Amino acid sequence: MADAKNTIQTGLRKNDKNYKKFSYFTAGIDVTQQNLDSFDPYIRGRGRIFMHTPPKFMMKQFPQLTANFKSYIETGYKSVTGIGNMSVDFETFEGGFNGQKFENVSKVTDETDTMTITVYEQSGSPVREFMETWVTGVRDPRSGIAHYHGAIQNANTAYGEKYHTAEFIYYVLDPTAKQIEYACMFAHAFPKNIDKDHYNYESGNNGNVELTLDFSVTKYESNYINQIAQWYMFADAMDWNYLNFNPNANITGGDKVSIWYDLDLNNARNPYQGTEDWKNKMPGQLRADMGIANTSMGPNGTLTNYPAGSGAKNSTSIPTTGIANANGNKMFNY
C-alpha cells in the first residue's frame, strides 16, 4: 500500500521502486535486466540557483547592475555549496548502582547557516561592484551608517531587513533535467565578505579570478518550496540536446532556441499563473520532452502534435505561489 502522507520529497522526484524484490550486493552483484529496474543510483552534479528576490534597495537604485548580477550568477556560477547536515542532540539519563545510561532525543538542528556561490569575475569587475555596492549601502565602511546609496535620503525606500536581504531558490536535477531531486530556499541572505585580494600583484601571476561569494542565510525546505522550484524548472526550460544547438538562437525570427533563458528583472512574459499556465507557454517540443502532451504552435509556425514522453510525475502540480506582483508584468513580488 502506498504512503498516504506528504514527505519532504512531495512534489519532487519520488522513488516508487519495489526494493523488496532486489537483493543488491548481498549475494553478489546482479545487474541483469530483471534487476535493473530497482537499481537507480542517485548521481550528483546538476544544481540550479536563482536569485528569487534581489535586495530591494539595489533594484531601486541600481536596476541594471542588479539585473546583470542576477543573470550572471544564475547562469555563470561554478559551484553552489554550504548545505549542511541535520544533527540530533540527546539528553543523557543515568541511574542504577552501575551508572547505566540511556539517551532521549532533545532537538534536531539544521546546520546550514552559510551558502557560497563561486563565479569567475569578468572584466570591469561587475560581480565585485554589485557585492560592494550592496554591502556598503547597508553599512558605510567609513561612517557605519545605512544610507542605501541615497535611497533612504530620497525617500525611495524605508530601512529594514526586507529591503537589503535577498532570497535564493536552489534545486538539484536528475540526469534527465526533467525532475527535481532536492529543493530549498536560502532566505535572509546577506554577503559575509567582499573579495578584493585578487587585485594584489605577483610577478608571473596572470591567471583568472575566481570569486567566492559567501552569504549568511537561513535555509528552508517544504512542499511549498518544492513547488516554487518546480515552477522555476518549467519557466527556465532549456533544450539540452546538442543536436538542436543554434548559434543564432538569440536572433529574432530564428527557427529554434538552444537556450531559453529570460528570467530577468523586467520580464516581459505573462505573469505567473501556476505551473500549468507556464507549461502552455513553453515551446511545443520542449513540452513534449518534459512529458506534456499537447497540440500547439510548433517551432516552424505550424500546428504540430507533440505526444507526451515519459515525463515527470510531478508535472500535474499547480503551485499557488504569489510571485507575480500587482502590476502583472514581473515575476517577483517587489
| CA max distance for the chain | 85
Which residues form the domain of 238? 223-334
Gap between the terminal Cα atoms of the chain: 45
Cα–Cα distance for residue pair 325/331, rounded to 1 Å: 7
Q: Residues 205, 241: one domain?
A: no
Residue 143 predicted with pLDDT over 70: yes
Cell numbers standing for residue 62 = 541600481
Angle between helices 63-75 and 126-138 (to 10 degrees): 120
Q: Residues 191, 46: one domain?
A: yes
Given 221, 251, 283, which residue is the final one in a domain?
221
pLDDT, tens digit, 9 for 90 and up, residues 82-114: 999 999 999 999 998 898 999 999 999 999 999
What local confidence, expressed as pLDDT, does residue 333 receive? Answer: 33
Element (H, E) at 149: none
Given 200, 221, 242, which residue is the final one in a domain?
221
29 belongs to a structural domain: no
Residue 8, number of CB atoms within 10 A of its CB: 14
Q: Residues 208, 230: one domain?
A: no
122's torsion region: left (phi>0), alpha (psi -120 to 50) or beta?
beta
pLDDT, greater one: 301 or 6? 6
The domain tally of the chain equals 2
Cα–Cα distance for residue pair 217/169, rounded to 1 Å: 12
pLDDT, tens digit, 9 for 90 and up, residues 184-212: 999 999 999 999 988 888 888 888 899 99
Cα–Cα distance for residue pair 175/46, rounded to 1 Å: 7
Cα–Cα distance for residue pair 307/295, rounded to 1 Å: 8
> What type of residue is 193?
N
Residue 275 predicted with pLDDT over 50: no
311's torsion region: left (phi>0), alpha (psi -120 to 50) or beta?
left
SS3 71: helix
**Which residue has cell 542588479?**
66
> What type of residue is 303?
L
Q: Residues 252, 280: one domain?
A: yes
16 belongs to a structural domain: no
Cα–Cα distance for residue pair 34/18, rounded to 1 Å: 12
Q: Residues 216, 228: one domain?
A: no
Q: Residues 217, 246: one domain?
A: no
312 belongs to a structural domain: yes
Q: Residues 172, 266: one domain?
A: no
Q: Residues 157, 136: one domain?
A: yes
Cα–Cα distance for residue pair 218/226, rounded to 1 Å: 16
pLDDT, tens digit, 9 for 90 and up, residues 288-325: 444 444 433 333 334 344 344 333 333 332 333 333 33
Helix, strand, coil percentages (3-state) for the chain, rounded to 5, are 25, 25, 55
Percent of the chain with pLDDT over 90: 39
112 belongs to a structural domain: yes
10 belongs to a structural domain: no
Q: Residues 56, 198: one domain?
A: yes
Q: Residues 194, 240: one domain?
A: no
65 belongs to a structural domain: yes
Determine contact, residues 230/11, Cβ cutoff 8 Å: yes
Q: Residues 168, 57: one domain?
A: yes
Q: Residues 156, 78: one domain?
A: yes
Element (H, E) at 297: strand 294-297
163 belongs to a structural domain: yes
What local confidence, expressed as pLDDT, does residue 219 receive? Answer: 95
Given 159, 186, 221, which residue is the final one in a domain?
221
| Model confidence band, residue 260 (pLDDT cutoffs 50, 70, 90) | very low
33 belongs to a structural domain: no
What is the number of helices (H) and of strands (E) in the chain?
8, 10
pLDDT, tens digit, 9 for 90 and up, residues 29-83: 777 777 777 777 778 878 999 998 899 999 989 988 998 899 899 989 999 999 9
